[in-house]
Amino acid sequence: MAARAYWQGQIRLALVSIPVEIYSATKSGAAVSFKQIHEPTGKPIHYEKIVTGVGPVDTDEIMKGFEYEKGEFVLLEQDEIDAVKLESKKTLELTQFVDADEIDVLYYEKPYFVVPADDLAEEAFIVLREALRATRKVGLGQLAMRGREYVVSLKPCGRGMVLETLRYADEVHKAQGYFRDIPDDKPDQDLMELAEALIAKKTAKFDPAEFHDRYVDALKGLVERKKKAKGRKIIEDSSDEKPGKASNVVDLMAALKKSMGQSGGAAKAPAKTAAKKPAAEKAPAKRAPAKKRA
């Protein structure tokens, strides 16, 4: 495998240990990067490590320090930090199993591919993978990587498995603080039917290749135009209308109907509930004579 393993160690389930390697499952996308430039000379600006009252210093004079009081630091060597003993540096012990939908999406952070480290580990690796698949469970444990310990989840992915780092509870804001002012109202049924029809019309299988970073494309276009402009300032005139707030339900209904038309199909008229014709009056049914009690 060409890529370098991000972590090497073992997955432990009770008395079973499986040597594995972990690889990053994601990579940085296309981006346009900018440097700070000194305009009069056109030269890039550099940053120096500076100590107050001393001036610039060499990198080999720099240590890591923890501020335990204002202006007071404990200095640590890198090898002292590396020597901190933590079992999860080399072992991911699966301590709990949960249903996948029990983990809120807010807790997921970054995915990694997990593969067996060698041929001898393959059998146990496959057994664990298929057991997770059969039970539809996700394994949980803790793993130390690159200077911190993570809560991680483990689940099947094709022939391999995917490990995902999770955020700790104190790293996630409580949703109630943001959502409490949103009214808990029932939506209008006609609007719901139109919205559901629009969603159904635009539903398709997820294909990540269908999406790309349009902002990067726009910036590249701006750079090319700027090169040809010989210093002239370029400001694009945006004629796009800013979205306005719907003033009432009628505006939202019109917007949904227009959206259905733009999506390639005519909107089906929602079932009307208010303008029903009164049913023809029927003669009241005759009651059956009551049975006499013995």
Rounded-to-integer distance, Cα 128 and Cα 124, Å: 6
Q: What is the pLDDT of residues 39-87, one digit of tens each?
A: 889 899 988 889 988 988 988 888 899 898 998 999 888 888 877 777 7
Q: Is the pLDDT of residue 267 over 60?
A: no
Please report the pLDDT score of residue 254 as a whole number. Answer: 83
CATH topology for 7-26+84-171 is Ku70; Chain: A; Domain 2 (2.40.290)
Q: What is the pLDDT of residues 20-31, one digit of tens each?
A: 999 999 888 778
- Which residue ranges make up each domain of the chain? 7-26+84-171, 189-234+249-257
Rounded-to-integer distance, Cα 69 and Cα 222, Å: 49
Beta-sheet pairing, 96-99 with 43-44: unpaired
Instruction: Tell me the pLDDT band of 247, cut-offs 50, 70 and 90.
Output: low
Rounded-to-integer distance, Cα 20 and Cα 273, Å: 61
Coil/strand/helix, residue 136:
coil
The angle that helices 189-201 and 249-262 make with each other, rounded to 10 degrees, is: 20
Residue 88, C-beta contacts closer than 8 angstroms, at least 6 positions apart: 141, 142, 143, 144, 149
